[in-house]
Amino acid sequence: MKTRTLLLAVTALLMAACTSAPQPRLNNTAEILPRPTKTTYHDGVYSINHNTVLCYDASVERVADILCEYVPFAKRGTECCAENGVRLLIENALGKEAYTLTIDDTGVTIKGGDYAGVLYGVESFLQLLPYEVFTKKVELPLAAQHIEVEDSPRFPYRGMMMDMSSDYYTMEELKELLDIFAIHKINVCHVHLIDNGSFRMEIKSHLELAQEGGFRGGDAKIGPHNNFYNYKWGGYYTQEQMRELIAYASDRNIEMIPEVDVPGHSGAIAKVRPDILCNFQPDLSKSNGYEYRNVWCVAKESNYELLDDIIREIAELFPSKYIHIGGDEVKFQTWEQCPDCQALAKKRGVKMGAEFQDIFMERVRQIVKRYNKIPAVWDEAIDGGKLSKQTIVYAWRNIKWTHQTTKKGYPTIVIPGESFYFDTRQSASEVGHNWSFPFDTKHVVDWSFDKLGFTEEQIANIIGVEAAYWGAGRNNWEHYTTEGYTTDEMTYYNYMCYPRFSAFAEIGWCHNKRNWEEFSEFMTSSWSKTLTALGLEHRLETPVVKVEGDKLSASVNDGSTLYYEDTRTGKSYKYRAPLSTDVAKYTLFYSRRDMGISKKVGAEAYYAELSPKYEVSSSFNLTYGDFHPALEHYKWKTDRGAKVGDWVLYTFEEPLECYSITVRTGYSHTTNYLINEGDVEVSYDGSTFEKAASLWYGYATLYPTKPVKAIRLIAKMNMRQNHTIIQPLIVK
């Protein structure tokens, strides 16, 4: 036995030695994302070994440095090598961001029309090497298939927006994200620095803005974005840090565009500088004394002086030719209550609302122009009808507004929230925002200007496309959703963005992007492994669940491994054979492959809900709202935030026998407008109550052991918000 064990061990070591070099990617695995304009495969494999020389034009030395982060070349220099070399060369005739890539017996030749073209040739070359290169820990030798690639982008602007006001990313996280953007040939990072959540950018002439406005919760001036009132968290970026990040992005051909979102979305700055607000005192009793206004006063000259200071420093810091100044989702009713704004509107002869906003936006636009920048706005900012056509418009509300802006002749960035906001849930039963209908990767793959009816004249007004990820608190105290996604924040970000972001990258770059069948095959055969090597958790397609007779089964077609979870115990098991339909209401299926995971899905019996009749009474004044389970709508809305002792009583018409009852407050997609701390009590006779659960992020699930007559929710803290959302019960 000992001899046999030793023999097996030696055999394993020999096999490991023989296969230690990473295997080359051949045939359909040697593909590039975004898909190049033209690719020609040839027989043969080129090996990069310790004798291979990396040579390059001096102007692209930083590109060579980036390549060396992934491939450990033993030799490098600016003198070009004729054979056994990887050559990075400028070829001006190719045009901006265009490149050619050739791999043959003599080595690798990458020619770019400019620095960016060489960089993108390198990014494509890395995707032809073994997946392990993306770990940045690979050793030589490496091999790549012989190939010829010709490539150039469709649009000059290909962006990703990061909500750095709601979320606080470390410098290391931001650099990793910029690396991944570059791999996808994204060339803009739009940084949303200032919003209701936080003021993230150091302004040296007004240090208090970031030093006080960069934190929320606890003893901070800004209340918690969602939850845990007693915990203070946050941070901000010094100008020195931002310069470092801008330089890092520039090396990867990424332009960082700053955004100062005004006149709305300014709750953070209003907490530090309440003097920006309109000249009236609102009724704060509904919000338990918390000032919730977030709109700049249009009539105060001092506001434009403060904005001049902020914009001047940002203009000096960011090399980008653009500064985004917001203009979205402004609460016009704030101006309607301000005597100074009313007087200004009368003097200027404009209606209160979008026309009045034009006065503010034009003043801010002029400040931006004073510092030789081009102003950019969200599409609401053009509703007043007078904003200059020299302004860049980000069309986000829906595709209808993209048609409007391009027809009106505005230079447009296409960023429809219904298709490119990757914080939106990917199906009705998954986590994420649900102000819009859910969409998955297939929706992004299928998106096209041709299908949506854009004319050539409209497309001529399109500068490019942008995706976005809107945060809602990235720490263990401010969870993004109410649905129990409790892994770390970047894991959640990755699940929401990939592979949707990869599919989006092809819209901005490709002249001939993949269709759904091609993209699915590419994900299965190759790209999932690339995402895994990059350390990116990502979403797999949903398993298909079937009930046939008394058997419950599930299947996948992407080579992933199936598992099922017993929701009664929370334990998971590898799926090997069909289960009994007796467990259908307690069983969820999901799959894994590499670092990919699918959503959990059950049979129809799992989702089946009971519809008992019940009456709702409350210490609140409740108003009824349209309830739609796939959208942000609600059942009941109160006229104030909850106070200690507030209650909601659900009384069933008949004693209810069920497996579970879930009580929910706040929106279903995020921990906003909820009752943060409270007890849930149960009554079996309609008069005597006993505690059954405590709220967790605004909701609690009970598992009654006998028929229930009533459920009562009692608030245990004062909520600093001006209303509360009460959702219908979920009964199973």
Question: Is residue 137 domain-resident?
Answer: yes
Question: Which residues are 600's β-sheet partners?
Answer: none
Say if residue 481's pLDDT is above 60. Answer: no
- Predicted pLDDT at 116: 98
* C-alpha dist (Å) from residue 524 to 397, 519, 542: 33, 9, 14
Question: What does pLDDT average to over the chain?
Answer: 91
Domain final residue pick, 607, 622, 648: 607
Length of the chain equals 732
Dist CA 161 CA 191 (whole Å) = 6
Specify the pLDDT at position 8.
Answer: 31
Q: Examine the pLDDT at 479 and tell me if it is beyond 60.
A: no
Q: For the residues of 308-334, what is the DSSP string, one character each?
A: HHHHHHHHHH---SEEEEE--S--THH
411, 399 contact by CB (below 8 A): no
Within a domain: 1: no
Q: Which pLDDT value is given to residue 231? A: 78
CA 575 to each of CA 539, 540, 614: distance values in angstroms, whole numbers, following the listed order: 19, 17, 40
Q: Which of 55-64, 70-79, 270-279, 649-658 has the lowest mean pLDDT?
A: 70-79
Biggest CA pair distance of the chain: 99
The two beta strands, 85-90 and 53-56, are parallel
218 and 238, same domain (yes or no): yes
Residue 436 has a pLDDT of 84
Q: Which two tokens stand for residue 37?
A: 């304009």
Structural domain includes residue 6: no
Predicted local distance difference test score (pLDDT) of residue 347: 97
- Predicted confidence (pLDDT) at residue 470 exceeds the cutoff of 50: yes
> Domain ends where: 539, 564, 591?
539
Q: Quick one: pLDDT band at residue 273, thresholds 50, 70, 90? A: very high
Residue at 129 is within a domain = yes
* % of the chain residues with pLDDT over 90: 79
Q: How many helices (H) and strands (E) does the chain have?
A: 20, 36
Q: What is the pLDDT of residue 442?
A: 97
Residue 551's DSSP bridge partners are 548, 580
Q: Which uninterrupted H or E stretch holds 125?
A: helix 115-128
Task: State whether 507 and 555 are in the same domain.
Answer: no
| Closest C-alpha among 377, 62, 65, 34 to residue 186 | 34
Hunting for tokens 């943060």 — which residue is that? Answer: 676
Per the model's pLDDT, the better-predicted residue between 645 and 478 turns out to be 645
Residue 621 lies in a domain: yes
Can you give the CATH number for the domain in which 43 is found? 3.30.379.10
Contact (Cβ atoms closer than 8 angstroms) between residue 556 and residue 598: yes
Please check whether residue 452 lies inside any domain of the structure. yes
133, 71 in Cβ contact below 8 A? Answer: yes
Kindly state the average pLDDT of the residues 195-218.
95
Nearest-angstrom CA–CA distance, 375 and 391: 5
Same domain as 545, residue 535? no
pLDDT given at position 3: 37
- Model confidence at 696, pLDDT cuts 50, 70, 90, reads confident
- Residue 622 and residue 577 share a domain: no
Whole-number Å distance between alpha carbons of 658 and 731 = 7
Pull the structure tokens for residue 169. Answer: 């990313």
pTM: 0.92
Specify the number of domains making up the chain. Answer: 4
Q: Is the dihedral of CA 377, 381, 387, 389 positive or negative?
A: positive
- Strands 538-540 and 462-469 turn out to be unpaired
pLDDT category at 6 given cuts 50, 70, 90 is: very low
**pLDDT for 477:** 42
Of the chain, the end-to-end C-alpha distance in Å amounts to 56
Whether 534 and 603 share a structural domain: no
Identify the CATH number of the domain in which residue 582 sits.
Answer: 2.60.40.10
H or E segment to which residue 397 belongs? none
Contact assessment for residue 597 and residue 543, using Cβ atoms and an 8 Å cutoff: no
The structure tokens 């009654």 sit at: 704
Average confidence (pLDDT) over 309-315: 98
Q: Are residues 131 and 236 in the same domain?
A: no
Please determine, for residue 445, whether its predicted confidence score (pLDDT) is greater than 60. yes
pLDDT value at 669 more than 80: no
Q: Is 295 helix (H, G, I), strand (E, B) or coil?
A: coil
To 5 degrees, how large is the angle CA 651–CA 654–CA 660? 70
The band of 35, judged by pLDDT with boundaries at 50, 70 and 90, is: very high
Q: Are residues 134 and 239 in the same domain?
A: no
In a domain, 283, yes or no: no
Predicted local confidence at residue 262, as pLDDT = 98
Query: Predicted confidence band at 345 (pLDDT cuts at 50, 70, 90)?
Result: very high
Predicted pLDDT of residue 627: 62
CB-facing half-sphere around the CA of 462: CA atoms within 13 A: 23
Clarify whether residues 529 and 545 are in a common domain. Answer: no
d(CA 177, CA 164): 13
| CA–CA separation, 636 and 644 (whole Å) | 19
pLDDT at position 226 is: 59
Q: Is 619 exposed, middle or buried (0-12, 13-18, 19+ CB in 10 A)?
A: middle
Q: How confident is the model at residue 472 (pLDDT cuts 50, 70, 90)?
A: low
309 and 232 together in one domain: yes
Q: Pick from 151, 171, 188: which residue ends a domain?
A: 151
Check whether residue 122 and residue 251 sit in a common domain.
Answer: no
pLDDT for the residue 333: 95
524/484 same-domain check: yes
- 291 lies in some domain: no
**Which residue type occupies 520?**
S
User: Is residue 19 scored above 50 in pLDDT?
Assistant: no
Is the pLDDT assigned to residue 242 strictly greater than 60? Answer: yes
Residue 682 is part of a domain; what is its CATH number? 2.60.120.260
257 in the same domain as 180? yes
DSSP states along 346-384: HHHT--TTHHHHHHHHHHHHHHHHHTT-EEEEEGGGGTT
CATH number at residue 312: 3.20.20.80
Angle at 134 between CA 130 and CA 137, to 5 degrees: 90
For residue 192, what are the domain limits?
157-273+300-331+349-539
Cα separations (Å) of 476 from 205, 233, 539, 604?
A: 33, 10, 22, 33
Find the Cα–Cα–Cα–Cα dihedral 443, 445, 450, 456, rounded to 10°. 120
